[in-house]
A and B are shown apart, each in its own frame.
Chain A
Amino acid sequence: MGLRRVAIVGAGLTKFHRYTQETPKELAYEATKMALDSCEMSLNDIDCVVLGTAPDAFDGVHMNGEYLIDGAGGYRKPYMRHYVGGGTGVLSPIHGWFHVASGMFDTCLVVAEEKMSPAFPHPAGAFLTIFDHTTEQPLYPTLIWIFAIEMHRFMHKHGYRKEDIALVAVKNKKNALDHPSAQLAAEITVEDVLNSEMMAYPVNRLDISPTSDGAAAIVLAAEHVARRVTEKPIWIDGIGYCLDTAYWCNRDLYYPDYVEVAARAAYKMAGIKEPSKEIHIAEPYDPFTYKELHHIEGLMLCKRGESVKMLLDGVTQRDGNLPCCPSGGLLGVGNPIAAAGLMKVIEIFLQLRGEAGPRQVPGKPTCGVAQAWGDLMQVGTVVVMRS
């Protein structure tokens, strides 16, 4: 295709909190500065900047991309914002990849920021206006409704039990104990999940990731630059992204076809034929417990209807055959939407470099996948990375 190979060479991540005193710009600055420092680069070495942030309604700043440019180091550089709801954070490296793979730029700074806390009484209210204004908003839907609607359909089709799905929260919150950014790391039990407040049956409070403030950033480089900057570049070998129709009631919600379409594209590009064997580590998107399983199936890391068995058998534990969300995921580390997706990409980057510290999975993984999801249950974004 005449495309150049692109590597991640540096990364930065803030701590995630429910409320931070820092402004969105300052959050973006912290993550961006850390990413540049991590690979001993400065803004002078950066040819272009891409920025991901989810609904403007959270920060409460119209044209949030323009507002964030100063924190993201984009001043007087080619600069573009991308936004696909929850899928944004994994679209970020994809967007950056195009800039470098195309040959237009040798380096690209990729920044993802979200500050949800400014919205009162609760940022959940900001989601009302993502629904169709005529046929859905008059019923006052919430994001929790549609998640619960999807989870119930998923459980019904496969005969999954709530007490089994709850194990995802137990696993991820425990993994997050080792993550310095984590907001909700904890040692909990399945009973804790089942006994936590009922939000919208079948979703309990501990099935849900927290709202957060935070930012993340990575540095991308073309091969000739990457080899100069680091002895251990991590290559973006496959990308895929796909949006399904916004008429979300007109499709069977039990299976995320759009994730499969995105994954197939990424796997094809990376030359992966048997994902469950060739991928060693995964960060499927887990804003809710069932979503990790839903997405493991969409990513074809197991057959449809077998993700719960995989979970119960310990395959997805940090020391299992296919560790999933070794970072602690959104459930444990937190969910500042766009930043949370890029956090997943950073986790695979660190794991493949062998630099995940106490979170390091055994077995020297060389191939990992990160994935996110969003909008009206319609977008899949997938990145395959190799050491």
Chain B
Amino acid sequence: MIDEGRPMMISPEAVLKTTTKIKLNDIQSGKVLSVHDKPNLKYAWDNGVAIGRYLAELKNGKIIGKRCNSCKRVLVPPRLFCELCWRPTDDWEYVQDTGTILTFVVSHVNWDASRVKKGQRYHTPAVIELDGAGKDQGILHLIDEIEPYDIKIGMRVKAVWKEPEERIGAITDIKYFKVIE
């Protein structure tokens, strides 16, 4: 239905002429010529004072945050300033390695959009509200030791740590969280 019989400003015929549709196979077979490149850049990211301490404590098997006395949150991951109150944070404070699942996913795809292979466990990332951090103060981590489709929002979980000698000071020093109730 064309209102008031106005001509269309963008003509469908013109739109169809703008691009040339090709297929993945046209590129792979060389029918459409392309240049291939793989940049091989390496970075060393400084972690800063707050995240540096966070990682050092993970190596000790502990989760540390930094309290903001203004909004009463314990910030995990810790930061030197509170982004909401825009002020320096206050005391360092350990939080529990237990928490509650706020939301989760059963992912059949890997980070590069390839599919999880048959027989491998689906990825089950979750946002976990850590005990002692405050309402909605979650971190991203993985859930395991449970059938992926048996996980429910609200379940209580606890961190499963790598052996002390295997820890390197990384978020992966926690292998995953397991359901405890």
Contact = CB atoms under 8 A, between A and B. Distances in A.
Interface of A: 10-22, 27, 30-31, 34, 38, 60, 121-122, 124-125, 128, 132-136, 138-142, 144-145, 148-150, 152-153, 156, 180-181, 197-203, 213-214, 245, 247, 249-253, 346, 350, 353-358, 360, 362, 364
A133 B19 contact: no
Interface string B1-42: 111101111101111101111111011000010000100000
Contacts of B51: 134-135
B47 A14 contact: no
Interface of B: 1-4, 6-10, 12-16, 18-24, 26-27, 32, 37, 43, 45, 47, 51, 54-55, 73, 75, 77, 83-84, 102-114, 123, 125-127, 136-142, 148-149, 153, 170-172
A300 to B, nearest CB: 22
A242 to B, nearest CB: 14
A11 B123 contact: no
A156 B16 CA distance: 42
Given A125-B112, A199-B109, A253-B103, A355 B136 contact: no
B152 to A, nearest CB: 9
B10 A139 contact: no
B2 A357 contact: yes
Contact of B127 (A133, A253, A354): A253
Contacts of A60: 37
Contacts of B19: 14-17, 20-22, 27, 30, 213-214
A198 B51 CA distance: 36
Name which of A141, A144, A149, A199 has the most chain B CB atoms within 10 A of its CB.
A149
B15 A180 contact: yes
Contacts of B125: 139, 141, 145, 149
Contacts of A121: 112-114
A353 B19 CA distance: 26
Contacts of B140: 135-136, 139, 141, 249
A7 to B, nearest CB: 14
Given A145-B125, A149-B125, 4 more contacts: A20-B19, A136-B171, A199-B108, A354-B6
A200 B127 contact: no
